[in-house]
């Protein structure tokens, strides 16, 4: 054929406009040269836009939801400041009345109950997860004795407990009448939070307004293994279970002391362990 071009180790034939590469006898090429020629250098890689080889096993990264990030950024609280109200017979009676109504509506709700002997108002929570932080918290409670006096917040709290309210149907609680006693409690909680923020013991401010409440039942208790799983776990505390008790009267209660309490280690049928107290 006329259109034959010999180049190195092959013969290119053009037949009917189609080019074919045919074998031809030539001197053998060293294997190392072939291997080297098969691998393009960096400049050629860029020019040819050859992507680097990917690992055979996929690379995975841990997934974090915004809630997880928030949880890791804040320490888990270990203590809380409380205004105890379990010394009031009328508060205890109101709690027991509501809990009996819940039990009759659905026995599984029994696992949500808060023991009346522990009834209190939580002013704030904080992480005192070391001996040093606990001691600092105890000292702060004592120092607040004079601090509250400068704000006119010394003296007993006279509170009226009445009505039932809930947090997203997950927590059911006795409410407080919005009167002078309630307003003083709100101001007291704000002053204490501000003071503890200044000491660095309070792990930031979540921005949520203070809501005075005496917890009667909460679904989170079921998640702590306080109710056998085979009974089923309710998703909410249904309003129809306590609708007849929405205006229940918990009576009047006088609070003369605030307490720094430990969350863990409470014995059944007993109040929380008190680390320090503040006389109002």
User: Whole-model pTM?
Assistant: 0.69
> Which pLDDT belongs to residue 43?
55
> Which pLDDT belongs to residue 66?
38
SS (H, E, C) the chain: CCCEEEECCEEEEEECCEEEEEECCCCCCCHHHHHHHHCCCHHHHHHHCCCCCCCCCCCCCCCCCHHHHHHHHCCCCCEEEEEECCCCHHHHHHHHHHHHHHHHHCHHHHHHECCHHHCEEEEEEECCCCHHHHHHHHHHHHHHHHHHHHCCCCCCEEEEEEEEEEECCCEEEEEECCCHHHHHHHHHHHHHHHHHHHHCCCCCCCCCCCCCCEEEEEHHHHHHCCCCHHHCCCCCCCHHHCHHHCCCEEEEEEECEEEEEECCCCCCCCCCEEEEEEEC
Predicted confidence (pLDDT) at residue 91 exceeds the cutoff of 50: yes
> Which pLDDT belongs to residue 120?
97
Residues 14-20: what's their mean pLDDT? 44
Residues 6+ apart with CB under 8 A from 148: 154, 188, 191, 278, 280
Predicted confidence (pLDDT) at residue 163 exceeds the cutoff of 80: yes
Residues 140-168: what's their mean pLDDT? 90
> Which pLDDT belongs to residue 6?
42
Residues 6+ apart with CB under 8 A from 211: none
Residues 88 and 253 sit within 8 Å (Cβ to Cβ): yes
Domains of the chain and any CATH numbers: 4-48 (no CATH), 76-279 (3.90.1140.10)
Residues 6+ apart with CB under 8 A from 87: 253
pLDDT tens for 169-192 read: 899 999 999 999 999 999 999 988
Predicted confidence (pLDDT) at residue 275 exceeds the cutoff of 50: yes
Predicted confidence (pLDDT) at residue 16 exceeds the cutoff of 60: no
**Better pLDDT: 37 or 272:** 272
Cβ neighbours around 64 below 10 Å, total: 11
Predicted confidence (pLDDT) at residue 200 exceeds the cutoff of 70: yes
Nearest to 137 by CA among 255, 278, 264: 278
Give me the count of residues in the chain: 280
pLDDT confidence of 40, banded at 50, 70, 90?
Answer: low
Predicted confidence (pLDDT) at residue 22 exceeds the cutoff of 90: no
pLDDT confidence of 20, banded at 50, 70, 90?
Answer: very low
Q: How far is CA 33 from CA 9, 36, 38, 197, in A?
A: 14, 5, 8, 72
Q: How far apart are CA 23 and CA 9, in angstroms?
A: 7
pLDDT confidence of 34, banded at 50, 70, 90?
Answer: very low
**Residue 228 exposed, middle or buried by CB count within 10 Å (0-12, 13-18, 19+):** exposed
Predicted confidence (pLDDT) at residue 132 exceeds the cutoff of 80: yes
pLDDT confidence of 14, banded at 50, 70, 90?
Answer: very low
Mean pLDDT of the chain: 78
Q: How far apart are CA 218 and CA 114, in angstroms?
A: 7
pLDDT tens for 61-82 read: 344 343 443 433 568 899 999 9
> Which pLDDT belongs to residue 239?
93
């Amino acid at each position: 054929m006329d259109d034959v071009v010999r180049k190195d180790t092959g013969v290119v034939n053009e037949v009917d406009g189609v080019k074919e590469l045919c074998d031809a006898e030539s001197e053998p090429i060293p294997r190392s040269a072939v291997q080297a020629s098969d691998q393009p250098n960096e400049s050629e890689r860029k020019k040819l836009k050859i992507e680097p080889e990917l690992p055979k096993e996929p690379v995975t990264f841990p997934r974090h939801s915004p809630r997880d990030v928030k949880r890791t950024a804040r320490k888990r609280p270990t203590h809380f400041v409380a205004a105890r109200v379990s010394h009031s017979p009328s508060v205890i009676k109101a709690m027991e009345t509501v809990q009996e109504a819940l039990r009759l509506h659905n026995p599984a709700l029994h696992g949500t109950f808060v023991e009346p002997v522990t009834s209190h108002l939580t002013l704030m929570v904080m992480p005192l997860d070391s001996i040093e932080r606990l001691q600092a918290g105890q000292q702060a409670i004592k120092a607040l004795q004079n601090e509250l006096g400068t704000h006119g917040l010394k003296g007993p709290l006279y509170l009226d407990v009445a009505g039932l309210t809930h947090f997203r149907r997950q927590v059911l609680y006795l409410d407080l009448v919005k009167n002078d006693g309630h307003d003083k409690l709100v101001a007291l909680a704000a002053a204490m939070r501000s003071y503890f923020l200044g000491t660095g013991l309070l792990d930031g401010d979540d921005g949520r307004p203070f809501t005075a409440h005496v917890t009667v039942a909460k679904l989170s208790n079921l998640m702590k293994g306080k109710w056998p799983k085979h009974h089923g776990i309710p998703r909410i505390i249904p309003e129809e279970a306590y609708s007849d008790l929405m205006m229940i009267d918990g009576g009047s209660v006088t609070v003369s002391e605030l307490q720094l309490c430990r969350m863990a280690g409470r014995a059944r049928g007993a109040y929380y362990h008190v680390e320090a107290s503040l006389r109002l």
